[in-house]
């Protein structure tokens, strides 16, 4: 489509604009309004003999003509002022950088009918859940554990895929984000991605917003498990409701009653497998920048920007197919943005930082007839930097321990210092000096696995100690030591 000066919505943009180096001058000198809208109707794409896969347990795929998927995609482009500064992020150069600087203040936002369709699906499913899902099975799609970008993107997109390919009205297919909603704020990169993909976060359902055990009691719960063959330990009682396992490694032990299992021989991303299904069934959906960006982000983080030794050829192929989602800076730029957001803790409170990468173990009864609950938080900054996030770090950590009902918290820090040397530190906080003494005695007994060198920070209360540990000591070693301390037997 050609835009002549007479019929273009940007007719005010003339050759004088190129003389100004900054986007602010560009806005002032051109007659263009801060918001420009261009409605572009793409050509109708008709898939030729699409292939479908049987989904099992009462579901069968629809033909593209029957499905609610969008085949006539109308896109609206809006020029807006960028909300954030990118000057601190090492981004690849783009054509726009050549004209208006390394960190342009303007960005073009695409609004696509297909992402509206996805948001409508999410809202309708939340309305169904709020109504109690009357007369249907609750078809819950969820990751085995955690809320990394790949897991959340897979959960949203695979549930939508099941929705658009099913002609059965027996199932209410719902994506479940397997964390509490309050914890979303600690996942800065995930929140940023959902915002930039225009996903309506109010329509998402989090683990603390739905009682899955209620539906399980009445036999109406059907779980689709993603990225793993086992449900998370905190939901172990629901394992009999698992009816499908999608994208687990070949050879993994699966529940014997599950008949619908999708395995992979390669260590490919789950988002790759889902993108492949959309590309086969309804490729025009992937023309949406938001759709492709959500899946591409999952692939890039799962494969360390396609550089992980386990990255498959299919990962690379799908990343190239979804390149539209990367935007002006390409795959490298999107990956750098996501990594920056993952380590950007400037807007987070201490509790959010601790909750960002957090695990909890419940052990055997102690001498005082209380179970031992120990938590571990992994952070990407030094203990000293963590101290700078609060006027009274000891009080903030104590408050976090109380909220999580922890008798002890171990904060494992891994970061690069000013000399670019990798460092590991650990902060141990317990409810009593007696428990701290027991923990330190246990760690001292295992000094060959966890060598501790004392660090001194002002402001730490009794029951708190900080140490430097060997950089080759992985977080897995700390996890195993915690399991041994609380009495959890080895697998």
Q: Tell me, letter by letter, the H, E, C secondary structure of 350-386.
A: HHHHHHHCEEEEEEEECCCCCEEEEEEEEECCCHHHH
User: Does the pLDDT of residue 81 top 70, yes or no?
Assistant: no
What average pLDDT is seen over the chain?
A: 79
Place of tokens 């915690």: 482
User: Over the stretch 253-289, which tens digit does the pLDDT of each residue have?
Assistant: 889 999 999 988 778 899 999 999 999 998 888 888 8
Question: What pLDDT does 74 receive?
Answer: 57
Q: Taking residues 157-185, report their average pLDDT.
A: 92
Question: What pLDDT does 53 receive?
Answer: 43
User: Does the pLDDT of residue 27 top 60, yes or no?
Assistant: no
What token pair was written down for 282? 């309804």
- Describe the strand order of the beta sheet including 371-379 as a list of residue ranges: 358-365, 371-379, 408-416, 422-430, 464-469, 452-455
* pLDDT tier, 468 (very low <50, low <70, confident <90, very high otherwise): very high
Task: Using a pLDDT cut of 90, give the percent of the chain over it.
Answer: 40
Pick the CATH number of 350-486 from 3.40.50.720, 3.10.310.20, 3.90.1170.50, 3.40.350.10: 3.10.310.20
User: Over the stretch 156-169, which tens digit does the pLDDT of each residue have?
Assistant: 999 999 999 988 88
User: Does the pLDDT of residue 63 top 60, yes or no?
Assistant: no
- Selection from 98-102, 206-210, 265-269, 444-448 with the highest mean pLDDT: 206-210
User: Over the stretch 37-50, which tens digit does the pLDDT of each residue have?
Assistant: 333 333 333 344 44
Question: What pLDDT does 52 receive?
Answer: 42
* pLDDT tier, 216 (very low <50, low <70, confident <90, very high otherwise): very high
* pLDDT tier, 25 (very low <50, low <70, confident <90, very high otherwise): very low
User: Does the pLDDT of residue 57 top 60, yes or no?
Assistant: no
User: For residues 224 and 53, what is the distance between their CA atoms, to the nearest angstrom?
Assistant: 16
User: Does the pLDDT of residue 382 top 70, yes or no?
Assistant: yes
* pLDDT tier, 415 (very low <50, low <70, confident <90, very high otherwise): confident
Residues facing residue 408 across a β-bridge: 374, 430
* Highest CATH level, class, for 113-343: alpha beta
Task: Give domain limits for the chain.
Answer: 15-112, 113-343, 350-486
SS3 string of 192-217? Answer: HHHHHCCCCHHHCEEHHHCCHHHHHH
b/e per residue, 350-376, with b = 16+ CB within 10 A? bbbbbbbbbebbebeeeeeeeebbbbb
- Decide if 276 contacts 98 (C-beta within 8 A): no
User: For residues 389 and 351, what is the distance between their CA atoms, to the nearest angstrom?
Assistant: 10
- Give the global pTM: 0.70
Residues 6+ away with beta carbon under 8 Å from 306: 299, 300, 315, 316, 319, 331
DSSP-derived letter for residue 181 is: G
Q: Which of 76, 46, 77 is nearest to 64 (CA)?
A: 46
Choose the weakest-confidence range: 188-192, 232-236, 400-404, 478-482: 232-236
């Amino acid at each position: 489509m050609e835009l002549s000066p007479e019929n273009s919505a940007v007719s005010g943009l003339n050759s004088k604009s190129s003389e100004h180096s900054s986007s602010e001058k560009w806005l002032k000198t051109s007659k263009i309004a801060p918001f420009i809208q261009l409605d572009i109707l793409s050509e109708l794409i008709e898939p030729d003999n699409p292939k479908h896969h049987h989904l099992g347990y009462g579901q069968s795929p629809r033909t593209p003509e029957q499905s609610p998927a969008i085949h006539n995609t109308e896109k609206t482009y809006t020029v807006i002022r960028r909300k954030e500064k990118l000057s601190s992020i090492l981004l690849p150069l783009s054509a726009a950088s050549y004209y208006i600087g390394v960190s342009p203040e303007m960005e073009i936002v695409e609004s696509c009918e297909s992402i509206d369709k996805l948001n409508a699906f999410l809202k309708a499913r939340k309305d169904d859940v709020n109504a109690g899902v009357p007369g249907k099975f609750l078809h819950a799609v969820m990751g085995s554990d955690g809320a990394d970008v790949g897991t959340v993107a897979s959960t949203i997109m695979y549930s939508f895929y099941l929705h658009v390919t099913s002609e059965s009205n027996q199932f209410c297919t719902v994506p479940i984000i397997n964390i509490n909603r309050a914890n979303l704020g600690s996942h800065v990169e995930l929140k940023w991605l959902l915002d930039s993909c225009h996903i309506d976060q109010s329509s998402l359902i989090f683990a603390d917003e739905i009682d899955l055990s209620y539906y399980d009691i009445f036999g109406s719960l059907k779980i689709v498990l993603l990225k793993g063959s086992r449900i998370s330990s905190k939901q172990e009682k629901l394992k009999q409701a698992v009816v499908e396992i999608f994208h687990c490694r070949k050879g993994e032990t699966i529940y014997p009653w599950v008949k619908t299992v999708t395995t992979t021989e390669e260590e490919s991303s789950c988002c790759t497998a889902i993108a492949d299904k959309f590309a086969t069934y309804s490729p025009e959906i992937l023309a949406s920048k938001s759709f492709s960006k959500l899946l591409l982000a999952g692939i890039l983080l799962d494969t360390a920007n396609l550089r992980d030794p386990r990255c498959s050829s299919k990962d690379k192929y799908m990343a190239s197919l979804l390149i539209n989602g990367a935007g002006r800076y390409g795959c490298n730029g999107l990956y750098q943005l996501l990594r920056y957001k993952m380590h950007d803790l400037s807007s987070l409170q201490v509790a959010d930082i601790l909750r960002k990468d957090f695990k909890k173990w419940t052990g055997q009864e102690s001498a005082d007839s209380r179970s031992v609950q120990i938590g571990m938080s992994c952070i990407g900054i030094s203990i000293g930097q963590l101290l700078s996030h609060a006027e009274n770090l000891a009080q903030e950590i104590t408050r976090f321990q109380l909220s999580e009902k922890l008798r002890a918290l171990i904060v494992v820090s891994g970061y690069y210092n000013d000399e670019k040397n990798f460092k590991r530190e650990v902060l141990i906080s317990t409810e009593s000096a007696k428990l701290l003494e027991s923990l330190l005695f246990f760690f001292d007994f295992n000094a060959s696995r966890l060598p501790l060198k004392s660090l001194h920070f002002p402001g730490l209360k009794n029951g708190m100690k900080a140490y430097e540990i060997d950089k080759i000591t992985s977080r897995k070693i700390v996890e195993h030591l915690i399991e041994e301390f609380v009495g959890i037997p080895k697998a």
